[in-house]
């Protein structure tokens, strides 16, 4: 998970674990996230859009090139700020809860494994990053 607010990241981690995700790591900036994708293969990623002085859109392009499924977690409900290439990506708005996170996981994992049920997809998925 790429999230610059540590409290929100910890809340997301708790929810993801409740949903059956075994490994959750958190990157607080794009540089950390880039390092992690160089070192590991990921089942999926969740990206906060606004990371203070930067956004996650350029990093999202890296995930696209690696064919890593991902979705956005954002305080922005409007599609207007999303680049055209990412407007149709799965996303939920903050504040999120277990239901909305489950729906996002199903959307993201469904893109990677259309035959898996949301529970199966959640149990197979892991979101990596660094603290």
Q: Residue 123 above 90 pLDDT?
A: no
Look at residue 112 in the predicted model and tell me its pLDDT. 55
Total residue count of the chain as it appears in this document: 131
- pLDDT per position as a tens digit, 78-87: 665 788 899 8
pTM of the full predicted structure? 0.81
- C-alpha distances in Å from residue 72, one per residue of 21, 47, 97: 17, 5, 14
Q: For the sheet containing 91-93, what is the strand order?
A: 45-48, 70-74, 91-93
98-112 vs 6-18: helix axis angle to the nearest 10? 70
Q: Which is higher by pLDDT, 75 or 5?
A: 5
pLDDT at residue number 130: 35
């Amino acid at each position: 998970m790429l999230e610059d607010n540590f409290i929100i990241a910890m809340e997301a981690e708790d929810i993801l674990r409740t949903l059956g995700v075994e490994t959750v790591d958190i990157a607080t900036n794009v540089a950390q996230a880039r390092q992690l994708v160089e070192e590991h293969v990921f089942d999926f990623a969740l990206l906060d859009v606004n990371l203070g002085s930067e956004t996650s859109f350029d990093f999202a392009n890296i995930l696209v090139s690696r064919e890593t499924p991902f979705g956005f977690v954002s305080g922005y409900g409007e599609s207007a700020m999303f680049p055209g290439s990412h407007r149709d990506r799965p996303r939920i708005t903050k504040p999120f809860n277990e239901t909305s996170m489950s729906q996002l996981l199903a959307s993201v994992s469904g893109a990677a494994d259309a035959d898996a049920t949301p529970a199966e997809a959640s149990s197979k998925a892991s979101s990596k990053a660094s603290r």
